[in-house]
Structure 1
Amino acid sequence: MFLWDERPKPTRGPKPALTLEQIADAGIAIADVEGLAAVSMQRVAADLGYTKMSLYRYLPGKAELVAAMLERGIGSPPDLSDGPWREALTRWADALLSRYFGHQWALEASTGDRPIGPNELGWMESALSALPPGLTGAERMDMIATIAGHVRALAGQRGGESQMTGAMTLVLREHAQRFPAVVAALTDTAKTGGADQAFTFGLDRILDGLEMLLRQRV
């Protein structure tokens, strides 16, 4: 399978002028600036100084190109071998959020029917291995999906919470009476602080729920 099988080195003919890593890095450079939609075999080839057809020597098409980009972009998962499970899962979520912040296109690239590489599967292995005992296989998968979903949701709103608060403040100057609960929450936040903590707050509540479930089963 692509990304898993070691590509044989040619024994005859000219040596490959490119590597899959170089091609993926060229795609990443485009996507980081212009988004995933700007990435194409032709565009990547042109940026590398090659023809589009020459890239097919290294990968079958755009789906595999994006998969290779995602492998390079998210990299390897963090080492979770030390510390309690809660701290380990927090490190995992923090690291994944950081990777998504570094490559916003990775959110789109990691959805749908697509090739999956060893790095991406390694992130799941890392998180599953950090979970405490006491959960069924389905529950373990669901817990990782829940944490990853929380990470993805917040990664897609980078800077959005502050921007939305600013926009709401402008609107509420004239329409405060219609939205008293919103006004009360924003007013209290302005007094007591705690804004832009949705990622930490949400993750803590997810882990609180897991901890409570495990205690109930003792």
Structure 2
Amino acid sequence: MADERARPELPPVVARMWGREPVSRRGPKPSLDLARITTAAMEIADAEGLSSVSMSSVAARLGVAPMSLYRYVGSKDELLVAMLDAVSEEPPPLGDLSRREYLYAWTKANADLLVSRPWTLSIARGGPPMGPRGLRWLDRLLSALADTPLHEGEKIGIATTLSGYALSQASLIIALAPERVGTHLPPSSTVYGELLAELVDEDSYPALTSAVRSQAFVADPSDWYGQDTDFRFGLDLLLDGIEALIASRTPSADTRTPSADTRA
């Protein structure tokens, strides 16, 4: 028997992000729309941080009453969803890049976007994309994997893994930024290593002590995290695993039965 369950109803803010809001033919044209509201919210987040974004602060920026926003966005959480999609740029084009090169470019661009707007980090942790721009990123990654023998669930899993790597690396890059040294915020890589030298001992933390003594945490001031080398190192580990998975699903090019000579 066919599954007769009805499809879940789109959340109102998601419907508006996709332009599916019913258009009224009566009365004056609304003075607001979701795009104006999210732009005002992003301007506040860029200038003052995400904590300063509220329905009242956005309304004040637009010169309207807070209640007038609720026709377009039901809560701050819905507004955050719209903000994350609105700030997303176009994903890298596939072009002539090899599959591995594209997966790297896609993940790096994802991380770069988060680093450029640090307030997006906490929103991105909230769940998978629902807006048209965010889903375009997912579509492009799936397109890069289209000619592989992987099943669709595995492709989605790769997208989730690479998105998670971009998010974790963006968080680390922002946390170790040089301007945060000397504050209550997480220290730079070099300072972190120096602090560990004061905390760990060879008896309790033998492997970590060895890493500290070898200056594994020391970073060049001009390349405080090694966004190219360190980022690529970790990502290459993931890409190696993806290529190995694809290879394991790919039939051998030579499936002929060995001849009598070779079986001898």
For Structure 1 versus Structure 2, the TM-score category normalised by the shorter chain is 0.7 to 0.9
SS in structure 2 of the partner of residue 56 of structure 1: helix
Unaligned stretches of 5+ residues in structure 2: 1-9, 178-187, 203-208, 251-264
Q: Quick check: 1:75 aligned with 2:89? A: yes
Q: How many equivalent residue pairs? A: 215
Aligned equivalents of 2:137 and 2:216: distance in 1?
37
Q: Residue 128 of structure 1 aligns with which residue?
A: 142
Cα pair 1:64 1:115 within 8 Å, conserved: no
Do the aligned residues in 1 keep the contact of 2:115 with 2:173 (CA within 8 Å)? Answer: yes
More displaced, 36-45 or 195-204?
195-204
- With the length of structure 2 as denominator, give the TM-score of the two structures: 0.71
Structure with greater Cα Rg = 2
Matches within 5 A, 1:130-169: 130-131=144-145, 132-161=147-176, 163-169=188-194
| Code of the aligned partner of 2:144 | A
- Give yes or no for contact 1:80–1:92 (8 Å, CA) kept in 2: no
Q: In the TM superposition, what is the alpha-carbon distance from 1:150 to its structure 2 partner?
A: 0.7
1:207 & 1:54 partners in 2: Cα distance? 48
Instruction: Report the CA distance shift for 1:113/1:209 in structure 2 as closer, same or farther (over 3 A).
Output: closer
Offset of residue 161 of structure 1 = 4.4
- Give the TM-score normalised by the residue count of structure 1: 0.84
CA distance in 2, matches of 1:48, 1:96: 30
Identify the match of residue 23 of structure 1 among 27, 34, 37. Answer: 37
Deviations 1:24-81 (A, max 9, x none): 0111122223333322111100111111011123222222211211111113322224
Q: Which residue of 1 aligns with 2:68?
A: 54
**1:90-124, CA deviations, whole angstroms, 9 ceiling, x for partnerless residues?**
12112111211122222221233688212112211
Cα offset for 1:127?
0.8
Task: Give the whole-Å Cα distance in 2 for the aligned partners of 1:194 and 1:39.
Answer: 31
Query: Which residue is equivalent to 2:77?
Result: 63
Identify if the C-alpha distance between structure 1 residues 44 and 186 changes in structure 2 by more than 3 Å, giving closer, same or farther. same
Matched, 1:216 2:248: yes
Verify the 8 A CA contact 1:74 1:120 in the aligned structure 2.
yes
Any idea what SS the aligned residue of 2:172 has? coil
Taking the aligned partners of 1:189 and 1:110, their CA distance within structure 2 comes to: 28
* Alpha-carbon distance, 1:188 to partner: 8.6
Matching residue of 1:186: 216
The 2-side partners of 1:216 and 1:209 are apart by: 10
Residues 195 and 154 (structure 1), Cα distance of their counterparts in 2 relative to 1, 3 Å cut = closer
